[in-house]
Structure formats: C-alpha cells, structure tokens
Structure 1
Amino acid sequence: MRVIVVGAGEVGRTIAANLEDSHDVVIVDQDGDVVDELTYSLDVLAVEGDGTDIETLEEANIESAGLVIACTDDDETNLVVCGAAKTRSDAFTIARVKRRTLLETWQGSQGAFGVDFMACTDLLTAQAIFRISGLAAAQDVEMFAGGLVRMAEFDIGSGSPVADKTVREADQYDSLTFAGIFRDGEMMVATGETMMRAGDRVVVIGSPDSVSGFATDIATAETNGSKEVVIVGASEIGFQVARLFDEQGNRPRLIERDPDRAREVAEKLPNTMVMESDATDAEFLAREHVDEADIVVAALDSDEKNLLVSLLARRLGVDRTVAVIEHPEYADVFETVGIDVAVNPREETAEEIVRFTRADHTEKVAMLEHDRAEVIEIEANINSVLTGRPIAEATADLPDGVVIGAISRGGELVTPRGTTVVESGDHVVLFVDARVLDDVIDLI
C-alpha cells in the first residue's frame, strides 16, 4: 500500500520507519535539509513541499495512495491536508491534532474535515498517564481485547522479590505470561529459565487482576496503590489527566500558576482541588503537604520545568513521579536522575496511528522501548499459522522473538499453554521483537 506521511517530525519519522519495510512510503516536508537527510536514513521517497498544496500531493502520487497521514505540529494544517487528499483520492485519511475540541467536533459530525480518523495527542497522553498512575510501579500499561487483557511494563528494583529469580520461579499467577525482558538496551524473550535481575524491565501480559497482583507483589509498601494524585500544570494534558481522575471519583489536586486558567479549570472540575501557585516553589509544595501524595504528575510547558518539579517532589519524599517530555532523547536523563516514568506525547500519537497501517486483522498495537518490541492483538483466521494447532507446534513455525501472551475467546480469557489450540475467531495478544514483526504478521 502506498502511504503518504505529511510532516517529518518525530511522529512522522516514527511512522515512516515503522512502515518502510512493508509499505511504499512517501514522506512530505517543507524543510529541504530534512528531506535530504530522510533520503539517506530511511527507505522512503522524500518529497520537499507543502502538504496542503495539491501539486505537492500529486508529486507524491496521491491518486494511488491508500493511506494519508497528516502529522505536522499544526492542527489546522493537518485538517487541510486531509481535505485536500480527499479531492484527489479515496485514501483513508488520519489527522493528528492537539486540541480536544477539534476531536469533539469531528466525533459529532461524521466525515468532518475530510478526516477518517483523528488522533488527539493531548488526550492520548493523558490516557496513558492515567493508566500508568493506576497501577503500582508500572512504566507502561495498555489494555487489549476490550479490557479483558492487560499488558504492563515494570522495572525490577534491587529489593524486588522477583530479582534473581527465574521466570519459572516467579510465575505464581493463574493468568499471567512473562513476555519479554529489556536489559542494558537489549531485548530478550522470556522463557522459564530466564533469570530476572535488578535493573531489568519486564513485560507481562494477562488478566487485569493477575497483572495488578504482580504489581502489588513487586512494588514496595510505599508505592503500592496511587490514591492521592497531585498534577502540576493545567496544560491541556494536565487538565485531561485531572478530568480522568475526577470522572473516576478521585479528588486530585491540581497546581496552576495562571489565575485565569486556574479559575477556568476549577469551574470545569468540581471534584478537583485547584491551587493557584508556582509549583517550582519548594516552600509551597512543603506547606501543601505534596509529600503525602502517592504520585505527582508534571505536565508543565517545558521539559526543564517538568524535570525540576519532579526532582522537587522526589526531594520532598513523593514515592512516584510521572513527567511529560517533549524530547524523547531526555527520557534516559529523566530516569537516570530518579524520575519514575517519562511520557512522550509524540510517541503516544505515533503508536495510535501505526495500528491503522497493520494488516486488516490487527486490532491493537503497543510499541515498547522506542519500538524495540511490540505487543499486538490479532484476530486469528482460518489461514493463520496459529489456527487449529497447539501453541507449542504453531510457534515453532514463527521466527524467534514471539510470545503468545493471552487469548480472548467469546469474551472469556484463555491463558495460553503449549497444548492450547488457537481457534478461528480468537483474539490473540502477542509480544513480538520488532525485527521480525513484518514476517510474523504475514504468518498470523
């Protein structure tokens, strides 16, 4: 399929890199230097030009495109790109937007703007923070199979009860699969004999109860459960995080420096305590007992401010900090200095968009560790290598780097074992090494 990506920022590059081996990808950007660099770094056709210009789209051969992804940093530009694409092709159009109001307008008017699917960066980021915040010690959390299956990523601390144990020794859960382990930048598929070490990041897949039980077991007493939440910054992301907690009956605290914005948010979120102050004021944080919070979310307008707030919170004794970062290269820095979780809005958006580029039977995608591995949900059909065979036999025909994490059958969870037979129509959740992903998708 021919895929046209307009905008070669982080989102566009991530999508293009993910698709270059399996699709005919064209990436459009107005920066000539960026276009030249992409020509050598990715196996794509890079076109210099304005994606809202029909002539530029025609140069990208819009007539033969099956998918157009508008992911520049400007909402209105992305809407115009989609509308222009519809005048020249029947391509499926995806627009990345930041403002939730545009998403609501699109949802309330089918076909508005010529957009077939809209990914709202701020809302996706807030939802990711909300999922992570609700599970003790988690670094990443995703739901699959309509909420029947949960995937979560955890850091293994030196005092964790699973440190220096094999997967077989640690596996005491009825419906949980240890899928993969990231260690020193390398990814390993988990087997029964794999030893888990302090500093590892482990990926588990299973029922929400089993994943929560695992989280409770590996978390320290101080980090178990995130009941009191403090959100710093009433940015759109900060507001959406507070709204999600507010809607679930929690009473989060939200700190915002701008008095007009603080008043506006307070009126919209009746269950949220909104405090007007500068959250980089350590005396204010101490006076308001922010140290009693289970988790502090830093959602200010710069990475540097979010780092400062997170460090202040850690200094006061807050057990868990989550920070929004605009520059993914800062993620390692944040984690090195003790920030627990760094969430990048552009990565969340790219992940949401990428799932539309998979084979028709792929239901959901989660990218892990900057796309070193993916967790995907597929609906098994009669032609799948998995269907009608015991898992132990079927996976022997798959490349190394694949773990079947869970199966949903008729709304019921099936924990996969070597003798489990996958049936046509099953929803199968798999952990897959990104290096073999395309080969795996062809087979399943």
Structure 2
Amino acid sequence: MRVIVVGAGEVGSSIAESLATEHGVVVIDRDEDRVESVTYAHDVLAIEGDGTSIEVLEEAGIERADLVIASTDGDETNIVVCGAAKAVTESFTIARVKRTNLLRTWERSQSAFGVDFMVSTDLYTAEEIVNIAGLPGAADVDAFADGLVQMAEFEVTSDSPVANETVSEADRFESLTFAAIIRGDEVIIPQGDTVIRPEDGVVVIGSSESVREFAGAVTPAPTLEDANEIVVIGGSEIGYQTARLFEVEGFEPRLLERDPERARELAEQLPDTVVLESDATDVEFLGREHIGEADIVVAALENDEKNLLVSLLARHAGAQRTIAVVEEPEYVDLFETVGIDVAINPRAVTAEEITRFTREFRTENVAMLESDRAEVLEIEIDDDSLLLENRISDVVRELPDGVVIGAITRDGRLITPRGDTVLERGDHVVVFADTRVLDEVAAAL
C-alpha cells in the first residue's frame, strides 16, 4: 500500500514509523528541518512542500496513493489536504482535527470535507483519560469483542501485593491471561515461574470483571465504581470532554475553570457537573474545596507546567490518583517520575488511533503497547486460519516466540483459552504479539 502522510511533527512521524515497515510511505512537510529529520530517522521518502498543493501531492505520487493521512497541527489545513487529494484520486483520506465540532459536522455527513475518516485529538484524549481512570494502576486500557474482552497494562510498584510473586502465585483470577511482562526494553512472555518484579509492566487480557479484580490486587487506588469525588482541573476542550464523559458514566464531577465566561459556558453545557470559577494553583482554594479528598484528579489545563504544578498540589493535598495531560512528549516520563500517576500525551493518543485504524484493514481491532513494541490483535477465525479446528497447544508450537492467545469469544460468550481448546469458524481470538513477529502471526491466524 502507498501512503502519503502530510505533516512530519510528532503525530506524522510516529505514523510514518509504524507504517514504513509494511508500506511505501511518503511524508510531506513545509519545515526543512522536519523533512531532514524524518528522512534520516525512518525508511520513508520525505518531500519539503505544502501538502494542500496539488503540485506537491502529485510530486508525492498522489495518483498511486491508497491512503492519505493529514496530520498537521492545523484543522483547516488537514481538511483541505483531504479535499485536494479527493479532487485528483480515489485514495482513502484520514484527517486529524482538534476541534470536536468539526468531528460532529463530519459525522452528520461522512462525505463532508472529502474526509473518509476523522480523528478528534481532544475527544480521543478524553476517552483515554476516562478509560484509564476506570482501572487503578492502569497505564493502558483497550476493549475487544464488543466489550466482552479487556486488555490492560499495569505498572507494578514495590508495595504492590503481586510484586515478587510468580505468575502462578499471582494468577488468582478467573478468565484472566497474563499475556506479557514489559521489563525495561524487554518484552517477556511469562511462564508460571516467571517472577513479577517491581517496576515491571504487566499486560493482562480477560473479562472486564477479572481485569478490574486484578487492578484492585495490583494497587489500592479507587476504581470508578469506588470513586466518590472526581475533579477535572481546566475547562479546555479536553477538560470539557472529560467531564462530559464522566457524566455519561453516571458521575457528577467538579470542574475548575479560571475564566468567568468559559466557566459560565461550561456550566450550561454540563448539567451534572459542578463548575467552580477559580485558579487551580490557589492553595487556599484547593484546601477550602477539599480537593485533597478527591479520588481522581485530572489536570487538563492548556499548559504542561501548570498541569504538573496542580497535579503535585492535588497529590500533596491527599488526592488518591492524578492524571495529567502533557503536550510535550519529552515531559511524560518526568511527570510520572515525580509522582503523577498517569501522564497522557494527546499527540501520542492520536497517532496510535490513526495507526490502529490503518491496521484494521486486516484485523478486527488493534491496540498498540509500549511505543508499538507489542500489539494486541482481535482476529476472526476463517477457513484460512491455522487455528481452525485445531487445539491451541498444537498450533502454538508452529507460531514464533512472542505470541500469547489471550481470550476467545464465541457467540457472545467469553472462553478462557486452554491448551486443549479447539477453535471454530467465526470465533474471535484476542492475541498478544511482539511487533517483531507481528506479520508472521497475522498471516498465520
């Protein structure tokens, strides 16, 4: 497949890197330094130019392109790129936008703008926040098989009950598979005697109930079901969408916004949210409003330094769990090192969603882990599958190392995979795979 990516920033570069191993990728950007950087960093052709220009698109080979991804930081630019591509080709177009109102307009008429698929950075970031808030200790969460199966990655701390236990000792939960342990740069497929160490990332796949139960064993932090108090700091679009999604889940969050006009607007749009007009860095106000008693605090201001500050203030005041939006990717590790529970980078979330969509041409669903070092795939068993009418124990011998069959669904029922389980046509299988063997696994299954 020939792919044209317009925009060589963090999102475009990440997409190009993910797709370059399997497809011919051309990247377009106006910035000479970005073009040079992406040329040296990835196996792609990079062109300096304006992606809204038909001439530049033709130079990139638009007439042969199967997919055009517009991923600049400008919403209007990305829409124009898709429209220009549609004017000269039938290629599939994907546009990244920040503003949710553009997404809503597109959803009402999906032929609008010449865009075939639209990704809203702010909305996806808010959804990621709410998903992660639902599981204490989770660094990543995804659902499969229409919600019957859940995958989650947990960071194990030194005081976690499963720290220094073997996988066999930690395996106390029905319908749960230990798919992988992430240790530094190493992806380990665990055996029964594999020891779970502090600072390991543990990837589990199973029913939502079993994953939630495991989350409670990993950390005592509250789940959404246990949370009595949720505070969103910042009335940005991400903050608004996060509060709205918490309302959808049946909660009545509090939202802090400094600007009076914006606070009034949010109060009208969020009927079940208590909107407080205040500066979140006001320590006295935080004390008066008992922010330290919150179960979950989300920092969604439009400034990384302020998000770090208010998160630390909330943590110092006693908040159980802090989640912060971080625009600069190099700050993510810093936030988590100094005590923020989860730092979420909107550009990384967007890049993963776009890459996920492109991968779904061959699978039912995809989740990427650890900067694309591993993936979880949902695959429907058909006549060409190696698993069809075979026992899992027999098939696993023919698969490369780095693969775990995590869950099976059949006719709306969850089946925990065992060695003697026989797969049937139409079954959905959720598989963990190291990226290095991904192509071989996808072809076999």
TM-score computed with the length of structure 2 as normaliser? 0.97
Q: CA deviation at 1:355?
A: 2.2
Aligned to 1:111: 111
Deviations 1:130-153 (A, max 9, x none): 011122222221111111111111
How do residues 31-430 of structure 1 correspond to structure 2 at under 5 angstroms? 31-220=31-220, 225-358=226-359, 360-430=361-431
How do residues 9-48 of structure 1 correspond to structure 2 at under 5 angstroms? 9-48=9-48
Change over 3 Å in CA distance of 1:221–1:242 after alignment to 2: closer
Contact kept, 8 Å, 1:223 with 1:320, in 2: the verdict is no
Give 1:212's aligned amino acid: R
Q: CA deviation at 1:385?
A: 2.3
Give the alignment's Cα RMSD to 1 decimal. Answer: 1.4
The separation in 1 between residues aligned to 2:19 and 2:393, in whole angstroms, is 30
The separation in 2 between residues aligned to 1:333 and 1:351, in whole angstroms, is 21
Aligned to 2:3: 3
Change over 3 Å in CA distance of 1:295–1:218 after alignment to 2: same
Q: CA deviation at 1:412?
A: 1.2
TM-score computed with the length of structure 1 as normaliser? 0.97
The separation in 2 between residues aligned to 1:39 and 1:407, in whole angstroms, is 41
Runs of 4+ more than 6 Å apart:
221-224
Contact kept, 8 Å, 1:93 with 1:117, in 2: the verdict is yes
The separation in 1 between residues aligned to 2:395 and 2:244, in whole angstroms, is 45
Give 1:275's aligned amino acid: L
Deviations 1:71-128 (A, max 9, x none): 1110011111111111111111111111110010001013000111111110000001
Give 2:3's aligned amino acid: V
Contact kept, 8 Å, 1:156 with 1:198, in 2: the verdict is yes
**How many residues are paired up?**
444
Contact kept, 8 Å, 1:135 with 1:226, in 2: the verdict is no
Runs of at least 5 residues in structure 2 that lack an aligned partner in the other structure? none
The separation in 1 between residues aligned to 2:217 and 2:123, in whole angstroms, is 31
The separation in 2 between residues aligned to 1:172 and 1:2, in whole angstroms, is 47
How do residues 425-436 of structure 1 correspond to structure 2 at under 5 angstroms? 425-436=426-437
Contact kept, 8 Å, 2:368 with 2:376, in 1: the verdict is yes
Contact kept, 8 Å, 2:136 with 2:222, in 1: the verdict is no
Runs of at least 5 residues in structure 1 that lack an aligned partner in the other structure? none
Give 2:261's aligned amino acid: D
Aligned to 1:438: 439
Contact kept, 8 Å, 2:179 with 2:432, in 1: the verdict is yes
The separation in 1 between residues aligned to 2:428 and 2:89, in whole angstroms, is 33
What's the secondary structure of 2:423's corresponding residue? coil
Q: CA deviation at 1:430?
A: 1.3
% identical aligned pairs: 63
Give 1:148's aligned amino acid: L
